[in-house]
Each structure stands twice: as structure tokens, then as C-alpha cells.
Amino acid sequence: MKFIYQTWWKVLAVLIILYTLIAGFLFGVPTLPILHETIRNTYFHVPMWIAMFTVFTISVVYSVLYLNTGKEEYDLVAVECVNTGTFFYVLGLITGMMWAKFTWGAFWSNDPKQNSAAIAFLLYCAYAVLRNSIDEEQKRAKISAIYNIFAFPIMVVLIMVLPRMTDSLHPGNGGNPAFGKLDMDNRMRVVLYPAFIAWSAIAVWIASLRYRIRLIEYKRNEIN
């Protein structure tokens, strides 16, 4: 837990994001039909999902830790990671929808990938509702940890497995080749991979700040 109080990785994340912003808009990209310059959205759309997966994974790890130890702090980490992940989820959806408007022709085109992303979003909304429905703190922590662990594999199946089974417009699905295989070249990779790391670090940073605020509130409410 000491890691979240250190500064170096936060500075590094901000610097790398500045680099991806500048390089993402200025570096050369492959000229492809339909995509044209929108290909630069790869630097923003994909890292949002990577960041989301990072914080959701951390949240599942802390839910498991909570169930094993019963420490209240772990539950706070899990819930704030889910909150941050949901935020990045929305960002991923929005960037994807904007991209879809320019390449597929509509914000929402009933695509399996879009649909299952929307369904998986409901999973995490249900998590929030579940938390609100229980008043007792320890019971709330336990039950929401269980639901969180239960929801994560379903979310992975929804987003990563099911769209691959049917026809989809999204790259990497339904017989389409994955984006990286044909459309990308090394000029893009030098921007994209740092962006994955940097946005994940930013997500962890946001989650850790929210967790620290929660922790202060929790300690204030404590009866000594």
C-alpha cells in the first residue's frame, strides 16, 4: 500500500500522457480507407478500456483480500476501484461511440460489441445499487465483495468472448482480424503501448485519491 503514497509514478504517468497527446496528434499514421485520421482515436479509446480492466482487476483482488481478512480498508479500495473503473468505462464507451459515428455511420449501430459493453455496464450499476440497498457496513462490504467477484468473470465473457462469436464491425471480432495485425505499424505502437501504461497509472491514481478521502471519512466516523 506504500506504493500509492509515492510520487514518482504519478509524475511519470502525466509525462507519458503528455507525450502520447503530442505524439498521437503529430506522428505519422498509416493512411487507411474509411479510418483516415480517426485512427488516432486508438490512442484514447483502447487505453480507456485497458485502464478500466486494470482498476477492475485491482478491485477484484481487494474483494478477495477483504473476504479473507475482513479488513474494512480493503473494502474501501475495492469500491473506489469500481467507481473509477465505471468512470473509465463511460469514457471508453463515449470515445468508441464517437469513433463509430465517423467510421460505422452511427453512434450506436446495434453491434454485438457495443451491446455487450452496455450490458456489462449494467452489471456495475447493479453493484452500486446493491451497495446502497444494505445499511449494515460489514454486511454491505461482504455481499458487495461477493457480487464483485461474481460479476468480473461475467464481464470478461461479455466483452471479450461473446462478441467474438458473432459478426461484428469491431476489429478483432467475428472473423475480423484484430486491429494490431493489419492496420498498425511500429509508428503507432511507440505511442499506443506507453498510453496503456500511463492511462492505467492515472486510473490507479484517481482510485487511490478517492480511497484516501474515503479512509479519512471512515476514520473520522470511527468511535474511539
Partner 1 sequence: MQLFNQTWVLFKKEIVLEWRSKYAFNGVLLYVVSTVFICYISFNLNPGFSGSKSYPVVWNVLFWIIMLFASVNAIAKSFMQESKSRLLYYYSIASPQAIILSKTIYNILLMSLLSILALLVYLLFFTNTIGDPLFYFLTVLLGSISFSTVFTMISAIASKAGNNGTLMAILSFPVIIPVILLLIRLSKNAMDGIERSFSYSNMGVLLAINVIVIATALLLFPFLWRD
List of residues contacting partner 1 (CB under 8 A) = 67, 116, 119-120, 122-123, 126, 129-130, 133-134, 139, 142-143, 145-147, 149-151, 153-154, 157-158, 161-162, 165
**For residue 39, which of 204, 179, 197, 203 has the smallest C-alpha distance?**
179
Distance CA 193, CA 89 (A): 19
Torsion, CA 207, CA 208, CA 209, CA 212, rounded to 10: 120
Distance of CA 218 to the CA centre of its chain: 26
Distance CA 122, CA 127 (A): 9
Nearer to partner 1 by C-beta: 14 or 146? 146
Nearer to partner 1 by C-beta: 145 or 206? 145
Nearer to partner 1 by C-beta: 81 or 151? 151
Nearer to partner 1 by C-beta: 159 or 195? 159
Work out how close the CB of 117 gets to partner 1 at its nearest, in angstroms, rounded to a whole number: 12
Work out how close the CB of 204 gets to partner 1 at its nearest, in angstroms, rounded to a whole number: 25
Work out how close the CB of 60 gets to partner 1 at its nearest, in angstroms, rounded to a whole number: 11
What is the C-alpha radius of gyration for the chain, rounded to an integer number of angstroms? 19
